[in-house]
Amino acid sequence: MRGRSAALIIGPALLLLSGCIFAPTPSPSASPTAEPSPSPSPSVSRAPSDTAEATATPEPALGLDFPDETDDRVIAVSVDPQVGADGGQIVVTVTSQSEEMVEELVLRWPRELNGTLLLRPFEPSEQRIADGGPPLVQEWTKWVLGPGEEGEPAGTISLGWGPLFAGATLTIPVNVVRRANGPVEFDLQFLSESRDPTSGAVVDAILTLPEGEPAELRVRVP
């Protein structure tokens, strides 16, 4: 969340997921402890500095860096955490205030959040693991623990939710499993994902809030 001009705190409620890409068609082997599998990530060491870095504002715990690209399409967002001692859900509502469709809406949060809260786009059930059961209808398009094959940064979890049409509202229920007691705060970003027509590369850009700020919230779950 470096470079944020202001942090937006969502009070007693808020949140969201990760991993190697989960295909939209669920696997018969899914289990009640479903969680994206982490990929090994290289360690990075930095030389100590006694100059400007010594007085720099420290990055908040469970924070995120902004992506390189910005998207001036405006969205309004709200987050309603309904999380108890064992878990629950976080309901995220995103409303487009743009005249253009967002091809793919992506939510992103820090991977380290998994130590306290595991966020996932579904709750495992018998229907999901049944062999030959009825077809499942799911709205999420990806659940990736970075670094991912489409440029998802290391140390992040990205949840794709398909297109956001102009003027439309998406309601995104995120299942939560609590792994540690106590309150937690984390950054939650709202991104557009598109493919560069020339190179074919996937580009993530942070959307814009009605106040003109980048679409990032500081979420607090009691």
Task: Please spell the DSSP secondary structure of the chain, one letter per residue.
Answer: -TT-SSPPEE-S------SSPPPSS--TT--TT--PPPPP---------SSGGGGSPPPPTT--PPPSEEEEEEEEEEEEEEE-SSEEEEEEEEEE-SSS-BS-EEEEEEGGGGGTEEEESS---HHHH-TT-PPP-----EEEESS-TT-PPTTEEEEE---B-TT-EEEEEEEEEE-S-S-EEEEEEEEEEEE-TTT--EEEEEEE-TTSSBSEEEEEE-
User: What confidence score (pLDDT) does residue 214 get?
Assistant: 98
User: What confidence score (pLDDT) does residue 42 get?
Assistant: 42
- Tell me the domain boundaries of the chain: 13-26+61-124+139-221
Positions of the chain with pLDDT under 70: 1-59, 125-137
User: What confidence score (pLDDT) does residue 41 get?
Assistant: 45
User: What confidence score (pLDDT) does residue 171 get?
Assistant: 97
User: What confidence score (pLDDT) does residue 49 get?
Assistant: 47
- Is the domain spanning 13-26+61-124+139-221 CATH 2.60.40.290? The answer is yes
User: What confidence score (pLDDT) does residue 219 get?
Assistant: 97
User: What confidence score (pLDDT) does residue 122 get?
Assistant: 87
Question: What is the value of pTM for the model shown?
Answer: 0.73
Structure confidence by residue, pLDDT tens digits, 161-182? 999 999 999 999 999 999 999 9
User: What confidence score (pLDDT) does residue 161 get?
Assistant: 96
User: What confidence score (pLDDT) does residue 200 get?
Assistant: 86
